[in-house]
Amino acid sequence: MIEFIDDIQYVCDLHLPWNELKDKTVLVSGATGMIGSFLIYVLLNKKLNIKVIAVGRDEKRAKERFQDCWESNSFIFLTHDINEPLNIRENIDFIIHAASNTHPVLYAAEPVGTILTNLIGTKNMLDLATANKAIRVLFVSSVEIYGENRGDTEYFKEDYCGYIDCNTLRAGYPEGKRAGEALCQAYRKQYEIDIVIGRLSRTYGPTMLKSDTKAISQFIKKGADREDIVLKSEGKQLYSYSYVADAVGALMTILLKGKDGEVYNIADQASDITLKELAVYIADIAGKNVIYDLPDQLELEGYSKATKAIMDASKLNALGWKAHWDIETGLLKTLEYLSKR
């Protein structure tokens, strides 16, 4: 039994044109990740005879993630590295490309793979969409593409371009996402593919991976284990956050209601918070303290250099989406789920 079934049901109950997916086949890359796994459970729980082809590299992790649906006729897991071309005989109607290295240590430890997944992996997904004449592709992008706020705006809108020092190791992830978005627009023009893009804020929730090294993930894991929260900076960074159910609800809204070629920010202004405030809040819930430490070299190379990255989601709100969980309620639910594991 899925512990967070009520969250899945919340997304399933959103007023969206779900029948667009009836009797369709949806391929999801990054299937075992935080976003991909939650999204797949939503698709399977809609009871619309949706066939899900879940693509990932780790079958063992997939069996753990999807033990409730592993034997279902509506679910196929394909063990595959998306940096290699996909040859699938199934007819694919929709593609949701959510595969990416998404945590800081990997940005530093596997910088080549970080870039290639967002470039070559995206190309392979788009080639598959072209070959299948897919109805629509959803590319899952990131707030990271904005880089650092130049000081000329409070909130990032979709047409904003911040500063990224491209001659650094850490630039690989945001530049890879930028290149992935540009490739989507190129395929859309040259091959007439219908493509929409969702830019996620920093996301958290019960489907977080244990290997995730993002600050919020580390804080939550410490809190769930009733340990002191370790803050490896002054904590002045101000970021937007989203609970995973809200993020997936937003992605489904973009998939089913977004305009071809458009990009949408996914964020909730009620969940804009500094890293220090976040650490203190989780420590208070866990009854623990915040302690300060220095990052090691790998962490230092992988951590985001952005100090202020908050997003304007009014374009997405205009499609009818709004966040259901603010940062306090989302963290409480997440800690409750993870404490039971």
Q: Is position 278 within any domain?
A: no
Number of structural domains in the chain: 1
Helix (H/G/I), strand (E/B), else coil: 15: coil
Give the β-pairing of 75-79 and 51-56: parallel
Amino acid symbol at 322: K
pLDDT the model gives residue 295: 65
User: How many angstroms separate the CA atoms of 268 and 247, rounded?
Assistant: 10
pLDDT the model gives residue 292: 84
Q: Is position 31 within any domain?
A: yes
* Six token digits for residue 272: 């804009």
Residues of the chain with pLDDT under 70: 1, 294-305
Q: Is position 291 within any domain?
A: no
In eight-state DSSP terms, residue 92 is P
pLDDT the model gives residue 252: 99
Q: Is position 303 within any domain?
A: no
User: How many angstroms separate the CA atoms of 241 and 201, rounded?
Assistant: 5
Q: Are 22 and 51 in contact (CB under 8 A)?
A: no
The CATH number of whichever domain residue 176 belongs to comes to 3.40.50.720
Q: Is position 228 within any domain?
A: no
User: How many angstroms separate the CA atoms of 318 and 309, rounded?
Assistant: 21
pLDDT in tens, 152-168: 999 999 999 999 998 98
Q: Is position 152 within any domain?
A: yes
Q: Is position 194 within any domain?
A: yes
* Domain of 66, in residue numbers: 4-207+242-270+310-325
Q: Is position 262 within any domain?
A: yes
pLDDT the model gives residue 278: 94
